[in-house]
């Protein structure tokens, strides 16, 4: 019984690697290549640790900020700096008018929300004109899973001889093998290869499950490779 309780109390997290600079206290990595039913494991951990789940969970916001949760002196730090293929991205790099806060779901919503049920994507001022002129464009993709959301921010800036881009996901750690359909409404001049690239990246990250003592948390990751590699210069 003691051994079983110890196993249930193990901290399970996906190891993003040193390049991502994640800081999490007392963690044990899990080999995702092993044939493990992570969904069932999450269910068991949640059942055993329901009393530990606070009413509200901290979420990352679209600016440079460390978020922590405090329960019995345990601590979880979100990524402060995200490494990209051509350098690094600070969270403060993502700026737009009316930056929303990502609100934490309630306990019941956390326990119920495991599978994605819908997806929408919109872009701000993303046309062929401002894309080719180098004006920065920001996109928001919202993935609904039950009563909560995942938000992905896409930022692209293209000049006559340069291009920089980034895609950042804010994803819940309670997901277990979701099915993602990446689609969009018509957007003038939007390179379709961008969507294909993002779809592959989203599937890669969303098919991972993160658990911290059975307590769902949020993590932010940067997609790669550089989205500019998918864009054609005009």
pLDDT digits (tens, 9 = 90+) for 54-76: 333 333 222 223 333 333 333 22
Q: What is the arithmetic mean of pLDDT over 206-218?
A: 29
H/E segment holding residue 132: helix 128-133
* Averaged pLDDT score across all residues of the chain: 36
Q: Are 76 and 217 a contacting pair, CB within 8 Å? A: yes
How many Cβ atoms sit within 10 Å of the Cβ of residue 19? Answer: 13
* CA dist., res. 48 & res. 76, Å (int): 20
What is the DSSP code string of 145-213? ETTEEEEEEEEEEE-SS-EEEEEEEEEETT--S----------TT--HHHHHHHHHHHHHHHT----BT
For the record, the structure tokens of 107 come out as 């306990």
Could you tell me the pLDDT band of residue 162, with boundaries at 50, 70 and 90? low
- Find, among 54, 102, 74, 78, the residue nearest to 210 by Cα: 78
For residue 142, give the 3-state DSSP assignment.
strand
Q: What's the pLDDT score for residue 160?
A: 53
- Find, among 55, 29, 46, the residue nearest to 113 by Cα: 46
For the record, the structure tokens of 110 come out as 């956390």
Q: Are 105 and 57 a contacting pair, CB within 8 Å? A: yes
Is-above-0.75 flag for pTM?
no
* CA dist., res. 214 & res. 71, Å (int): 13
Q: Which residues contact 75 (CB under 8 A, 6 or more apart)?
A: 25, 68, 69
Phi first, then psi, for residue 191 (nearest 5°) are -65, 120
Could you tell me the pLDDT band of residue 163, with boundaries at 50, 70 and 90? low
Pairing between β-strand 148-158 and β-strand 163-172 as defined by DSSP bridges: antiparallel
Q: Residue 10 pLDDT > 50, yes or no?
A: no
Q: Residue 140 pLDDT > 50, yes or no?
A: no
Give the number of domains in the chain: 1
Domain hosting 135: range is 2-230
Q: Residue 112 pLDDT > 50, yes or no?
A: no
For residue 110, give the 3-state DSSP assignment.
helix
Q: What is the arithmetic mean of pLDDT over 174-197?
A: 36
Q: Is 213 left (phi over 0), alpha (psi -120 to 50) or beta?
A: left
């Amino acid at each position: 019984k003691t051994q079983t309780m110890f196993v249930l109390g193990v901290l399970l997290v996906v190891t993003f690697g040193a390049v991502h600079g994640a800081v999490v206290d007392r963690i044990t990595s899990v080999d995702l290549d092993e044939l493990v039913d992570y969904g069932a494991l999450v269910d068991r951990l949640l059942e055993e640790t329901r009393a530990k789940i606070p009413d509200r969970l901290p979420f990352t916001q679209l600016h440079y900020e460390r978020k922590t949760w405090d329960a019995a002196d345990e601590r979880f730090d979100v990524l402060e700096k995200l490494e990209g293929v051509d350098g690094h991205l600070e969270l403060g790099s993502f700026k737009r008018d009316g930056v929303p806060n990502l609100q934490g779901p309630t306990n019941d919503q956390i326990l119920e929300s495991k599978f994605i049920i819908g997806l929408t994507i919109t872009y701000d001022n993303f046309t062929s004109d401002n894309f080719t002129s180098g004006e920065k464009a920001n996109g928001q993709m919202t993935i609904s899973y039950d009563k909560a959301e995942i938000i992905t921010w896409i930022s692209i800036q293209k000049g006559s001889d340069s291009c920089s881009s980034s895609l950042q996901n804010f994803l819940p750690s309670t997901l277990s093998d979701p099915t993602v359909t990446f689609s969009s409404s018509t957007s003038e001049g939007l390179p379709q290869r961008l969507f294909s690239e993002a779809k592959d990246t989203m599937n890669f990250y969303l098919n991972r499950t993160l658990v911290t003592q059975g307590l769902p948390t949020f993590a932010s990751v940067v997609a790669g490779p550089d989205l500019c590699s998918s864009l054609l210069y005009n």
